[in-house]
């Protein structure tokens, strides 16, 4: 286990704890509150995080003998049987649990995921539904989803979580997935690198790409993270661009795997 992985796990835990606190006192009506995702309640959002944490732990344990591999193979077969609905089905099934059972199972899943990725041998990658992922990449992806789905829950409950510099993980993933976003739309990504300079909640400036790049993106890191997780419309953020390619990228950017979502309507 590397210090990077441990730092990522610490941040993942720190991001999940406020969400846990926000939902722990809800009654059944609170759990049934609709969120911005069509057909998903607060319970569905938390259930999705639980289900994905459990699935990621199973992927990590697939490297540990025949039993773990067989369990992962079974999950893959289920996904192949229903590629477009597999994830939603898992979330809706788990969301039917009683709130106390849902929270207890999510708590166990969070701890189990951490233990499972720590046990992955150094240098090995975990299988996933797309390309194999290193433990650090998997935890970064889990952070991104936890942050994004927590936003949906807070929005539904009428609360606003305080932004932290932990969102650098989301911003980094959004930068790293640039070419993937083009591929999802059947487009060829630009050959040239882009320059991003984003201002963190703390006021620090985070940068990616060559300083002399012709295509640039500047603005609040929080806005960029909202955009690449499709929690806001492009026209409702304070990001500025130089160059047509950078401007176009912000209309299709996504940090999550799978097909392009519908995004959010303009305010």
How would you classify the pairing of strands 216-220 and 240-242?
A: antiparallel
* Structure tokens given for 157: 């409950």
Domain(s) labelled CATH 1.20.120.450 in the chain stretch across 3-161
Q: Residue 108 has what pLDDT? A: 97
Going along 103-250, which residue ranges are E strands?
195-199, 205-208, 216-220, 240-242
Helix, strand, or coil (residue 174): helix
* Structure tokens given for 186: 């059947």
Q: Residue 66 has what pLDDT? A: 85
Fold classification of 167-249 is: Nonspecific Lipid-transfer Protein; Chain A (3.30.1050)
For the chain, 267 residues long, the average pLDDT of each consecutive 10-residue run is 90 97 94 95 98 97 90 93 89 95 97 97 93 96 97 95 96 96 95 98 98 98 97 94 97 86 76
Q: Residue 264 has what pLDDT? A: 78
Domain(s) labelled CATH 3.30.1050.10 in the chain stretch across 167-249
For 3-161, CATH gives 1.20.120.450
Separation between Cα atoms, residue 45 and residue 48, nearest integer Å: 5
pTM, to two decimals: 0.94
Most distant CA pair in the chain, distance: 55
Q: Which of 216, 219, 215, 195 is nearest to 207 (CA)?
A: 195
Provide the 10 A C-beta neighbour count for residue 61.
Answer: 21
Q: Which of 33, 256, 12 is nearest to 154 (CA)?
A: 33
């Amino acid at each position: 286990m590397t210090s990077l992985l441990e730092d990522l796990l610490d941040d993942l835990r720190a991001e999940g704890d406020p969400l846990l606190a926000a939902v722990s006192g809800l009654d059944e009506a609170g759990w049934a509150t609709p969120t911005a995702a069509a057909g998903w309640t607060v319970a569905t959002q938390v259930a999705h995080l639980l289900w994905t944490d459990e699935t990621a732990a199973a992927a990590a344990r697939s490297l540990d003998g025949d039993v773990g591999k067989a369990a992962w193979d079974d999950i893959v077969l289920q996904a192949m049987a229903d590629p477009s609905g597999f994830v939603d089905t898992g979330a809706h099934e788990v969301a039917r649990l009683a709130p106390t059972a849902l929270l207890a199972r999510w708590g166990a899943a969070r701890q189990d995921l951490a233990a499972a990725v720590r046990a992955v041998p150094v240098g090995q990658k975990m299988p996933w539904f797309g390309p194999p992922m290193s433990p650090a990449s998997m935890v970064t992806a889990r952070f991104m989803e936890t942050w994004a789905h927590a936003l949906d829950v807070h929005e539904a409950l009428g609360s606003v979580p305080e932004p932290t510099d932990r969102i650098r993980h989301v911003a980094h993933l959004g930068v790293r997935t640039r070419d993937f976003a083009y591929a999802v739309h059947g487009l060829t990504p630009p050959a040239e690198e882009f320059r991003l300079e984003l201002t963190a909640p703390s006021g620090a400036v985070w940068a990616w790409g060559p300083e002399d790049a012709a295509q640039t993106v500047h603005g609040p890191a929080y806005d960029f993270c909202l955009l690449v997780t499709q929690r806001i419309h492009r026209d409702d953020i304070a990001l500025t661009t130089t160059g047509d390619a950078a401007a176009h990228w912000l209309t299709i950017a996504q940090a999550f795997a799978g097909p392009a979502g519908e995004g959010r309507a303009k305010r």
